[in-house]
Structures are given as structure tokens and as C-alpha cells.
Amino acid sequence: MKILARASRPLLFLMVLLAAYEVTVGGFSSHILATWAYTVAFGVLVVAGLALILLGNEVLEKPAVVIISSVIPLALSLGLVVDFLPEWQTPYIIFVLVGLGLIVFTRMRPSNRFKILILSLVHAVAGLIIFIVPIIIVLNGTVPSAWFVLVSIGAALIGIGGILLTLLRSGRELLNQKIIFSILPVILLLMTAAFVAGFQSL
């Protein structure tokens, strides 16, 4: 087992507490589907944080991590679409279901040459929604608090985390594995804090 650095455990524990808090309060949305989407996203963060604390860094190298990590941006972006872009709700639900299904399918077939393309496309669309929508609705006054833009910062951080995981699985030496393992808990904590603060500002 690749043991976590001593400093990583309290960071991950704080991340789990923040995500668990967001799960218990149930978010800000008056839409049931959006509430479920946010709850799923933060619930996955809780599970991911606990897995890292209990099982160590080696869990990051498991193929299932790709599937699980895809749920977070897909669920968060779905919640935002339901709340702020209701006219796109149905087509985006279809995109989420098809996208996640294709990710699962291609990961079950390691030799599938389209797996990186599909993963990148799905994450790019979901990530852009999480990043752009809060900025737009803050600028046009749809939401009362400018602090909601913290959700966009969380999206940027989740993108950085995704890049680090990609580097880790690719085996490329652009960044030392030890450096990635030490940076990732910090990014996960800051990302979760930004998401929670952003959503709680409404």
C-alpha cells in the first residue's frame, strides 16, 4: 500500500467533513433533480476522501477511479443546468447518461482506442458548464451573491486535479509521483471548500 503522507490525512479529513456537510444540508436548490445531483456529487467526494484515507494513494491508480471521478463534474454540472438552464435540462440529462455509459463501456475494454477521447470530451463539457455558468449568472445578477463565483474556482481546481490523475495513470515523468500524491489532497480540499462556500452563498 502506498501510504499517505502524514500531512495529507488531516487535509482529506477536512475535505470529507466539508463534503459531508453539503450532503446533510441538501444544497440550496428548490428542484428535486438538482438537489439529488448535488447530493450525489458531494457524496462521491465523501466516499473518495474516505477511500484515500483508509486505503492510501494506491486507490488512485485503480481503473474504477476514472468512472467515479467522472460522476462528480457530471452531477455538479447537471445540477447547475437544472437550476439555471432549464431549457437544456432534457438534452443534458441525455448527455450525462450517454457520456457516463460510454466511459464505463470503454473502461471495461482497455484496448478501446476511443476511451481517452470520450473521457476528455465528457469532462470538458461538464467542466466548462461548472466554470462558465456561475460567472455568467453572477454577472447578469441572476443570483444575489457574487461569492457564487467560487464554484467556478472549484471547477478550475477540479480540472487541475483531473490533469494530475491523468499524468499519474499515463506513467509520464512530467511530475514525480510523490509530488502528485502530495499536491492532490491540497487541491481536493481547496476544490471542495470552494464548491461548498459557493453553493452556501445562495
**Per residue in 177-190, pLDDT tens?**
777 788 889 999 99
What is the model's pLDDT at position 92?
A: 98
Flag whether 2 is in a domain. Answer: no
Domain count along the chain: 1
Kindly report each contact of residues 15-19 with a partner whose C-beta sits within 8 Å and lies 24 or more positions away, as own/partner.
15/45, 15/49, 15/185, 15/188, 15/189, 15/192, 15/193, 16/45, 16/46, 16/49, 16/50, 16/53, 18/189, 18/192, 18/193, 18/196, 19/43, 19/45, 19/46, 19/49, 19/192, 19/196
Flag whether 187 is in a domain. Answer: yes
Between 2 and 139, name the one with better pLDDT. 139
Flag whether 25 is in a domain. Answer: yes
Grid coordinates of 16: 470529507
**pLDDT band at residue 1 using 50, 70 and 90 as cut-offs:** very low
Flag whether 51 is in a domain. Answer: yes
Range of the domain at 157: 8-200
Residues of the chain with pLDDT > 90: what percent? 56
Flag whether 1 is in a domain. Answer: no
Least confident span in 54-58, 94-98, 101-105: 54-58
Are 98 and 78 in contact, with CB atoms under 8 Å apart? no
Single pTM value for the model: 0.90
Flag whether 170 is in a domain. Answer: yes
Least confident span in 45-59, 68-82, 94-108: 45-59
Grid coordinates of 71: 460522476
**Integer Cα distance of 194 and 154 in angstroms:** 5
Flag whether 3 is in a domain. Answer: no
**Integer Cα distance of 26 and 62 in angstroms:** 30
Mean pLDDT of 125-145: 95
Smallest CA-to-CA distance from 135 within 156, 124, 150, 115 is with 150
Are 45 and 190 in contact, with CB atoms under 8 Å apart? no
User: Who's near 50: CB < 8 A, 6+ residues apart?
Assistant: 16
